[in-house]
Amino acid sequence: MNYLDYAATTPVDARVLDAMLPYFREFYGNPSSVHRLGQKAEAAVDEAREKVAAVLHCSPGEILFTSCGTESDNLALRGGAFANRNSSGRKWILTSKTEHHAVSKTAEQLAQENGFLLEWLDVDEFGMVTPESLGRAVCDDTALASVMYANNEIGSINPIAALAGIALKNKILFHTDAVQAAAYLDVNVETLGVDLMSLGGHKFYGPKGVGALYVRKGTGLLPQMTGGGQEFNLRAGTQNVPYIVGFAEALRLAHMERENRTAHVQPLRDHLIGEILETIPDSRLTGHPQKRLPNHASFVFKDVDGNLLLQLLDAAGFACSSGSACKTGNPEPSEVITSLGYSRDWALGSLRITLGVDSTPQHVDSFLQTLPGLVEKARKLNQK
């Protein structure tokens, strides 16, 4: 299988797995236990927190470990919105329909079930939230704004530092979902200026089932999981020690090797984009042509069923995605793609190709030789 779906998930780095293994059987204590095995586990969690804080340029006490990026998004939005309303009475939430559903669906539920008010931020032709868009939407009653760092479906990178600056000026909480961004972009929270930032381990060669949330010191946050006092009383539950260790090591490696990883994937991505747009009729690049993740290529093809194309690619030995991995199997066009203004005959034909450390020029060339014929076949089948 030629794997071209690194935005959906990545294989665990062998070095990350080696760091994790001792904490499954050798040092298996509960970090909340007083005995030596518990202390060893607690020390591993503390060390992991320090590793993550070093990459984010924050204090260890500002890092919460969660079960995934989705939980981090939920904790940021729910916890931040409720705490802000409790302290100030503010109840407006600002976000966009190009967000991952972990943010957009959470914001919708807060509005539908919990009395918050929701405004969708306008996006430009590349699916990006501009500072002007956020500036028009903020008001004295805004509690929180959430804009993703880099889009998982179309790869566009939002101007987070500028957006966070507007939020700071208006004294509102600013959250960014950096789950897709952390593999290739700088996640220095002092440079970005965010109050809350979500990360997920399996997007940068760490294990699935673990994430983190950065919470700037002084930021009000109402816990969404209650119980014990873990994670500074903000996220109850016994810590998943081996996965936390793996998350921290994977993030450290991503930070150390970012330049080399980018230099590896970006030329392959550019070759993909150029060849596909040149060789396949009625094809368009989605997302910003330059301000996009270095491993990310995404397209729409007119009169193509994206899910059918994925099946044809899979049968030919290629693993790709149609927009978000969470969208696979859904016959409706992605909200992200429709937000760009594409009609249904274009929006249904989305394809996302994402590269990684194991991608080679041979993989890309083989894919480029196969894709045009399969797009043509999918069009013919779609006409029947």
Instruction: Write a three-state SS string for the chain.
Output: CEECECCCCCCCCHHHHHHHCHHHHCCCCCCCCCCHHHHHHHHHHHHHHHHHHHHHCCCHHHEEEECCHHHHHHHHHHHHHHHHHHHHCCCEEEECCCCCHHHHHHHHHHHHHHCCEEEECCCCCCCCCCHHHHHHHCCCCEEEEECCCECCCCCEECCHHHHHHHHHHCCCEEEEECCCCCCCCCCCHHHHCCCEEEEEHHHCCCCCCCEEEEECCCCCCCCCCCCCCHHHHCCCCCCCHHHHHHHHHHHHHHHHCHHHHHHHHHHHHHHHHHHHHHHCCCEEECCCCCCECCCEEEEEECCCCHHHHHHHHHHCCEECECCCHHHCCCCCCCHHHHHCCCCHHHHCCEEEEECCCCCCHHHHHHHHHHHHHHHHHHHHHHHC
CB 231 within 8 A of CB 71: no
- How many C-beta neighbours within 10 Å does residue 380 have? 10
Contact (CB, 8 A) for 63 and 214: yes
Known active-site residue 326: yes
From 58, 139, 320, 326, the catalytic residue = 326
Q: Which two tokens stand for residue 276?
A: 């596909």
Nearest CA-CA partner of 307 in 323, 284, 295, 287: 323
CA distances from 91 to 135, 161, 247 (A): 17, 24, 34
Active site residues: 326
